A and B are shown apart, each in its own frame.
Chain A
Amino acid sequence: MCFKNLPVEFDSDGKPFLRNGVGDPYATATATAPEGPRQLTAEKIEDLLKRNGHIKSLDFDPVTRVAGALAFHTVADFENRKVLEARSVATLFRGYEVIMVGRDPRDAIYITSRACGVCGGVHSTCSALAIEMAIGCCPPPMGVLIRNLALALEFLYDHPLHLHLLAGPDYSQVIVEPTNPSLYERAKVTEAHHTEIHGYRTIADLMTDMNPLTGKLYVEALHMTRVAREAYVLICGKYPHPQTIVPGGMSSTINLTVMNEMFVRLSQFFDYSKKLALIWDDITDFFYEANPEYKKVGARRANMIDTGIFDHPDAYDTKYENANVWGNRRWATPGAIVEGKLVTTDLQTINIGLEEFVEHSFYEEWTGDGQQQHFGTDPSGNPLSPYHPWNKVTRPRPQGTNWKEKYTWDTTPRWDRQSMEAGAYARLWNTAVAQKMPESPFLESTGHSLKMRVPAGALPETQLEWHVPDVWNAFERNRGRAYCMAFTTLIAFEQWRAAMELLKDGDSRTSTKFEIPKRGTQQGVGFWGAGRGYLTHHLTLDRGAVANYQIVTPSTWNASPTDRWGQPGPYEEAVLNTPLLEETSDPAKFRGLDVLRAIRSFDPCMPCTTHIQSEVGLITREVNTCACGLDD
């Protein structure tokens, strides 16, 4: 049985049902609190601050080198070098869910794309999938393949950006040398293990080229975003907001010229992905060997969730009742991992385990007060919580920040009432363990690892292998994301090869005609993935218009606040477990580097509007594009 906390069991056919004899099955006040770490109470923290000079509050406002508006509050014990309190604060309300109500569902493809300035395409696609499910319109095989290819290319833009522009500088010479001088001295005399692939003799050489602005790896990442972007616009017309994604496929024209131009660009990622994986292997191994305490930076339970991505054209039929079947045939397998164990790969089980709470968020509750639950079950008759997105109503309620009450615009998604994290690495982990991915000469899921045979470029053909890690922390997140470059490149290559076969057969149809029904109520959900992992759009249509639209993104999970049971959100938990390893005993010289490494390893994607009340006054960034972490 995969649920430990929800009152849901499964019959002998695997059909979920509500446990018998439970009066109010989804009640939260009486529910057993999930096991796991807890925040100290606000009162306890206040008392510690008053009584101890070495305990100080330490705020990052905004957290820099992340996408969008994130602030982070911590209380740290500088004597014992640990964090006592961690609070993740999404500082902006965006309102996409409110904007969507009453509109033609096709608008969602273009409007929700604006939720993100990096990965607009994944929101467009997720919208298209939700509409396809609601109206029953299935794309032709080329439409599925080209959509997969487009989104893989978007990830090839996204991952290098994070690895070498946002998180990478935390491991660079200009950061490491002043904060951990002895570590840098060691780096100067430590030989890199994979010089033959990436070309760096010592770890210090590598760190120097990870320097922001001037490092070759930083500049190279900027260049590679161009390569991915150029390939992407061949299919999508425009980046970051595609113009060719429609319910029932893509409106792109696919011919041999387009495919050849795409391959010229895609093939540049063969060598680049080998290099990135082995650079992050070397960086991770170096830190672990230099000081095993680094294994605790950003550490938390391996609780992960992912909807899977990249459909197989022979399996995908848009239907919710078949979602477990087509989900399990995706190139990246869906899954929920609890304490390091894969507990399900079924999309319906993932879906019915999802709830969203607003205990510490600037929203009003939508349950209680005699309000009727909209859907008691999903379209397959499986039980649904009143806190499920199909039942959710977005009711923003701005107010002052109070750690005991409400302090963020992010909501608190939980799966089986547990704090789960999302990330590119979750799709790697699920796929490696589940052994359900399609057959491929380039990819092999072994049950404990994922083998990737990356074709030759200027570098020879190289076999990479990502192993399910023994510990889960900031380094493994970055390493996983680096391996995801090769994983994504090879999936893109597989889509390209399959699309070429279809072209040879003369089948270049990319979309299916559709009509939006003008009567009745329809439900749909887009199960997709962003570069940063899990993504769902839940949609309800009523007489042809959007009656409810709910988005849960990777950073909705990761940046979520402490829940009603005191269970911290993933950023918070990771920071609470992070030791302060900078080589200084003077708090005034402290830079909070390991805390930032922990947060950045999740690749936060918050709204790109920064609107922060800080001690020095109101700071406003008056442009809007990115809300990966905040969709309400």
Chain B
Amino acid sequence: MRVIVGGVAYPDLCDYSIGLEVQERLSGRDAPANVVVEDLSYNPIAVIQRLDDEPPDDRFGRAVFVSAVKHGDRPAGTVSCFVWDGVLPSDEEVQRAITEAVTGIIRLDNTLVIAKYFRALPDQVVVVEVEPETHEFGAAMSPAVADQVDRICDLVWSFATDDDAVDALPVGSLEVFTAPAFRFG
């Protein structure tokens, strides 16, 4: 099975760059022929188009995404890994994600939701979320996140190369941002 590992992040945004940091480190490893490591930190519509460019008879069977995702209710540096259940939010939320995507916002939830909606994702999607702390311009990560980088790289690598590691993961959902759009006062 072909596997794509993708970092989704902004460069030089401290902890929020973790997806790129992991992707860059893993790109230096000797990957098996079936594993591709890429920076997927761009417009999710373009990510779909990139995935759709794969030959129809040899598309990726698994994607492993790594990104900083702020939950706020867990310590910085917490790493959570799960197989995404693929449940999509409402059509309105998909539209919201597309609006953000085409106007320049890069976020893991948008990438997953949009790619799933347009049937571009592999059947199996592994999500590796890292709880960030520092949200500023700069290259330095917070100690809590920096301490985890090697571990995160190894985890992601195992999900790319070891089916048993993926089988051991729980199935999880995305927390999709919802905004009020209209109200009477």
Q: A interface vs B, CB < 8 Å? A: 56-68, 116-118, 161, 165-166, 169, 212-213, 222, 225-226, 229, 240, 587-588, 591-592, 605, 608, 610, 612, 614-616, 619, 621-626
Given the contacts A226-B46, A622-B70, A57 and B185 also touching, CB distance less than 8 Å: yes
Q: Are B180 and A616 in touch, CB under 8 angstroms?
A: yes
Chain A: which residue is nearest B10 at the CB level?
A: A623
CB contact between A62 and one of B46, B94, B181, B185 (< 8 Å): that residue: B181
Determine the chain A residues whose CB is within 8 A of the CB of B103 once the complex forms: 67-68, 117-118, 161, 605, 608, 625-626
Find out whether the CB atom of B105 lies under 8 angstroms from the CB atom of A64: no
Chain B residues in 8 Å Cβ range of A624: 10
Q: A59 contacts which chain B residues (CB < 8 A)?
A: 182-185
> Which A residues are in CB contact (< 8 Å) with B95?
64-65, 169, 212-213
Q: Are B99 and A166 closer than 8 Å at their CB atoms?
A: yes
The CA-CA distance from A466 to B111 in the complex, in Å, is 38
Report the separation of the CA atoms of residues A63 and B185 in the bound assembly, to the nearest whole angstrom: 16
Contact with A along B119-140 (1 / 0, CB 8 A): 0000000000000000100000
Chain B residues whose C-beta falls within 8 Å of the C-beta of A60 in the assembled complex: 181-182
Measured between beta carbons, the chain B residues less than 8 angstroms from A58 are: 184-185
Taking the closest CB of chain A, its distance from the CB of B39, in whole angstroms, is: 12
Checking A68, A222, A605, A615 against B183 with a beta-carbon cut-off of 8 angstroms, the contacting residue is A615
Partner of A65 from B99, B179, B184 at Cβ < 8 Å? B99
B98 at the interface (CB under 8 A from A): yes
Q: CA A587 – CA B100 in complex, angstroms? A: 29
Within 8 A of A (CB), among B108-160: 117, 135
Residues of B within 8 A of A64 (CB): 95-96, 99, 179, 181
| 17 A-B contact pairs sorted by A residue (CB < 8 Å) | A57-B185, A59-B185, A62-B181, A66-B99, A67-B104, A117-B104, A169-B95, A213-B117, A222-B98, A222-B102, A226-B46, A605-B103, A610-B179, A623-B107, A625-B103, A626-B103, A626-B104
Residue of A nearest to B132 (CB): A622
Contact A621 B177 (CB under 8 A): yes
How far is it, in angstroms, between the C-alpha of A65 and the C-alpha of B100 when the chains are bound?
8
Interface residue B54 (Cβ < 8 Å from any Cβ of A) = no
B104-A116 in contact (CB<8A):
yes
In the complex, A67→B100 CA distance in Å? 7
Contact A161 B102 (CB under 8 A): yes
- Determine if B185 and A56 form an interchain contact, defined as CB atoms under 8 angstroms apart: yes
List chain B residues, Cβ under 8 A from A225.
45, 102
Q: Which residues of B contact A166 (CB under 8 A)?
A: 99
Contact in complex: B180, A213 (CB < 8 Å):
no
Tell yes or no: B16 within 8 A of A by CB.
yes
Cβ–Cβ < 8 Å partners of B45 in chain A:
222, 225-226
Q: Is the CB of B49 within 8 A of A226?
A: yes
A118–B94 touching, CB < 8 Å: no
CB distance from B10 to the nearest CB of A (A): 7
- Bound: A57/B184 CA distance, A: 6
| Partner among A61, A240, A612 whose Cβ is within 8 Å of the Cβ of B104 | A240
Given the complex of chains A and B, what is the CA–CA distance between A118 and B102 in angstroms? 7
Interface size class of B (residues with CB under 8 A): 20 to 34
B91 interface residue per 8 A CB criterion: yes
B20 within 8 A of A: no
Is B106 at the interface (CB under 8 A from chain A)? Answer: yes
Chain B, range 32-46, C-beta contacts under 8 Å to A: 43, 45-46
Tell me the minimal C-beta distance from B79 to chain A in angstroms. Answer: 19
Partner of B91, one of A56, A65, A212: A212
Closest to A64 in B: B181
Shortest beta-carbon distance from B180 to chain A in Å: 6
Question: B185 to chain A: which residues have CB within 8 Å?
Answer: 56-59
CA gap between A168 and B110 in the complex, in Å: 21
Q: Which chain B residue has the least Cβ–Cβ distance from A614?
A: B180
When the two chains form the complex, which single residue of B49, B105, B180 contacts A61, counting CB atoms closer than 8 Å?
A: B180
In angstroms, Cα B107 to Cα A58, docked, is: 30
Cβ-defined contact, B117 with A56, below 8 A: no
Instruction: Contact check, A165 vs B46: say whether CB atoms are below 8 A apart.
Output: no
Minimum CB–CB distance from B105 to chain A (whole Å) comes to: 5
**B contact residues around A619 at 8 Å (CB):** 177, 179
A117 to B99, CA, bound (A): 11
**A67 to nearest B CB, angstroms?**
4
Tell me if B105 and A587 are in contact (CB < 8 A). Answer: no
Q: Report the Cα distance A65→B93, complex, angstroms.
A: 11
Other contacts beyond A59-B184, A623-B16: 11, CB < 8 A: A59-B182, A68-B103, A118-B103, A118-B104, A161-B102, A213-B94, A226-B49, A587-B184, A623-B105, A625-B105, A626-B103
Q: Is the CB of B104 within 8 A of A621?
A: no
CA distance A622 to B182 in the complex (A): 22
Contact A165 B102, CB 8 Å, known A59-B183, A213-B91: yes
Given A226-B46, A623-B106: A592 in contact with B182 (beta carbons within 8 A)? yes
Q: Which residues does chain B contribute within 8 Å of A116, judged by CB atoms?
A: 104
Decide: A608 and B100 in contact? CB cutoff 8 A: yes
Instruction: List 7 A-B pairs, minimum CB-CB distance, nearest first.
Output: A117-B104, A625-B104, A67-B103, A57-B185, A626-B104, A64-B181, A608-B105
Residue on A nearest B94 in the bound complex, by CB: A213
**Chain B 5-33: CB-based contact to A (< 8 A → 1; otherwise 0):** 00000100000100000000000000000
- Please name the residue on chain B nearest to A76 by beta carbon: B184
Chain A residues whose C-beta falls within 8 Å of the C-beta of B180 in the assembled complex? 61, 614-616
Q: Nearest-CB distance from B40 to chain A (Å)?
A: 15
Name the residue of chain B whose CB is nearest to the CB of A160: B102
| B185 smallest CB distance to A (angstroms) | 4
- Nearest CB of chain A from residue B103's CB, rounded to whole Å: 4
Write the chain B residue with the least CB distance to A114: B104
Give chain B nearest CB distance to A432 CB in angstroms.
Answer: 29
Residues of A within 8 A of B94 (CB): 213
Query: Which residues from A are CB-within-8-Å of B182?
Result: 59-61, 591-592
Fill in one digit per residue for B159-185: 1 if any A CB lies within 8 Å of its CB, else 0.
Answer: 000000000000000000101111111
Q: Which residues of A contact B46 (CB under 8 A)?
A: 226, 229
Q: In whole angstroms, how far apart are the Cα atoms of A222 and B183 in the complex?
A: 30
| CA distance in complex: A588, B184 (Å) | 8
With a cutoff of 8 Å between Cβ atoms, the chain A residues found around residue B49 in the complex are 226
B76 to chain A, nearest CB (A): 14
